Structure 1
Amino acid sequence: MQLTKQQLAEFDELGYIFLPECFPVEQVEALRAAASDVFAQHRAEVWREKDGAPRMAFACQQYSEACKLLASDERLVTPVEQLFGERCYLHQFKINAKAAFTGDVWQWHQDFPTWHKDDGMPEPRAMNIAVFLDDVMPINGPLMVVPRSHKAGALESSHDVKTTSYPLWTLDNKTVTDLVERNGIVTPTGKKGGVLMFHANIVHGSAGNITPYPRRIAYLTLSALSNAIVKPTRPDFIAHRDFTPVQKTSPKDFEEFLAGEVTA
């Protein structure tokens, strides 16, 4: 799947792009089932809220066939290769969950400072691709992004280990306020199966979820091959050390997987 000239221009200007209904219903349902299976497991890669509800599951592509297919899906990989002009490797794969009623916040941050300071990623030639596994609504803790904030580059941040279970390099209130006063805040929302791509330096965060509606999102972090990490400090399941180019799979591969599941 190639991005159009208009989509490329939109990404360059705003720092993000939303692709609605990128994955058909049957494939999304398989991914939703896989997410439930992953979060039911008790392993080091699955992190939980204080009340035991799942918050994050890392490296799911290593122990879930559906996630493995998603991590190499050409619908996600090709646009990133198009933007970077080179092949990519998988830096990270995870599923983030905002449990109904108890899903916690994500502080305002950029992704690249964490990848740079904690993993030794040289440049912001990597990005997150978010696949909506549930309907993302204005009320159930959607991702909030500050348009055009990627144009400010990597901003001064502090290592916050107190307010989330996952340490982040977070931004101070004044920095966020100044950016929002200039650019506003948007909340890309949509039906399950939608895809959100956003720049490594886009400022983003999310509020808690106190609704009855859970919000799960699968994230691929794809990095240009020339941008491999050099000083990783985090476990391999968080920051992968395999810099092999992603071997892309097609929607047909996913359909064949689903057919095999039905047959089995």
Structure 2
Amino acid sequence: MSPTDLYPTRRFEEPRLIYRTEDPAVWGRPADGPLSQAHLDGHQADGFTTVDQLLSPAELAAAQNEVAQLLHDPALAGDERVVRERTTDEVRSVFDVHRISPFFAAMIRDDRIAGVARQILGSDVYVHQSRINYKPGFGGAPFEWHSDFETWHAEDGMPRMRAVSLSLAMTENYHFNGSLMIMPGSHRTFVSCVGETPADNHRSSLVRQEAGTPDHASLRLLADKHGIRQFTGNAGSAVWFDSNCMHGSNGNITPFPRSNLFIVFNSVENALTDPFAAEKPRPEYLGSRDWHVLN
């Protein structure tokens, strides 16, 4: 039997704002992992936690080398897990990096990464999705404002807001080369979007998302209430953010490329069901249904 849909979307003629009352942003305690009570309180209030430097210089150099290899790996030519920009054919995203790369598979098991995910979610975790997001200089396209949870709920069947994402900078993230923006506190409001999900929507949405994007009036309301925080920092810096944070990023017309490693952790107590607003689930590399604990 399908679980109760607490966050209906893509079924009404008008957008709706649904206030989050059932799912906390933080499920664990300070004793459960590396984050302090102050960090957890901030994450609960704002929906995100920043880390000035997550990796050591040697670890960062190795990770950057692995990213470069994945972006130019001839073995991935034509692989559906590699998404390219519409206008330049440059790589936009490489998905499933924790399965493609033994290096990243090992790295994300570190207590500084998987341990924080377990602490925030208050349970064992697994990887729902992993990818490298790359914005080349002179043409990296924007990522429109959206809540990841809206898509994961509608198209993957994620029932509850018990997932957290890590965005780890592989290059310098400036305010001018398409760095991440989040509306602090927006994770407490779910924007129910209008419009049905097209068949195989992921084939176009990974390049430019249209279905599941919030309306301008809802975005204006959230921005007026919460403001916008832009995340800049050195390579190796990171931000953890809640699955329902309203976020996006501008395009990159500068000469300076921007790339980030993006890992989504879901609680094993929040396993996927049938999609709530799509005919069938997206492919495994976008929404994993392999719910084994990440040891």
Q: What TM-score, normalized by structure 1, do the two folds share?
A: 0.89
1:136 has 2:200 as partner: no
The share of aligned pairs that are identical, in percent, is 28
- Code of the residue aligned with 2:259 in structure 1: it is R
Aligned residue in 2 for 1:239: 287
- Code of the residue aligned with 1:138 in structure 2: it is H
- CA-CA distance at 1:68 after TM superposition: 1.3
- CA-CA distance at 1:72 after TM superposition: 2.0
Contact map agreement 2:83 2:206 (CA 8 A) in 1:
no
1:68 has 2:105 as partner: yes
- CA-CA distance at 1:44 after TM superposition: 1.8
Contact map agreement 1:71 1:93 (CA 8 A) in 2:
no
Within-5 A mapping of 1:117-128: 117-128=154-165
Q: 1:24 aligns with which of 56, 63, 70?
A: 56
Contact map agreement 1:105 1:164 (CA 8 A) in 2:
no
- The count of aligned residue pairs is 246
- Code of the residue aligned with 2:142 in structure 1: it is V
Alpha-carbon separation, structure 2, partners of 1:20 and 1:198: 15
Q: 1:48 aligns with which of 54, 64, 84?
A: 84
- CA-CA distance at 1:70 after TM superposition: 2.6
- CA-CA distance at 1:166 after TM superposition: 5.1
Aligned residue in 2 for 1:202: 245
Within-5 A mapping of 1:1-264: 2-41=34-73, 42=77, 43-50=79-86, 51-152=88-189, 154-158=190-194, 165=207, 167=209, 169-231=212-274, 233-247=281-295
1:188-210 deviation per Cα after TM superposition (whole angstroms, max 9, x unaligned): 11111111001111100011001
Q: Which stretches in structure 2 are left out of the alignment for 5+ residues?
A: 1-32, 276-280
Q: What stretches of structure 1 move > 3 A for 4+ residues in a row? A: 158-164
Q: What TM-score, normalized by structure 2, do the two folds share?
A: 0.80
Alpha-carbon separation, structure 1, partners of 2:109 and 2:252: 30
Q: Which stretches in structure 1 are left out of the alignment for 5+ residues?
A: 248-264
1:173-202 deviation per Cα after TM superposition (whole angstroms, max 9, x unaligned): 111111111111010111111110011111
Alpha-carbon separation, structure 2, partners of 1:83 and 1:5: 11
Alpha-carbon separation, structure 1, partners of 2:208 and 2:117: 26
Kindly tell me: are residues 204 and 137 of structure 1, through their superposed partners in 2, closer, same or farther at Cα, counting changes over 3 Å?
Answer: same
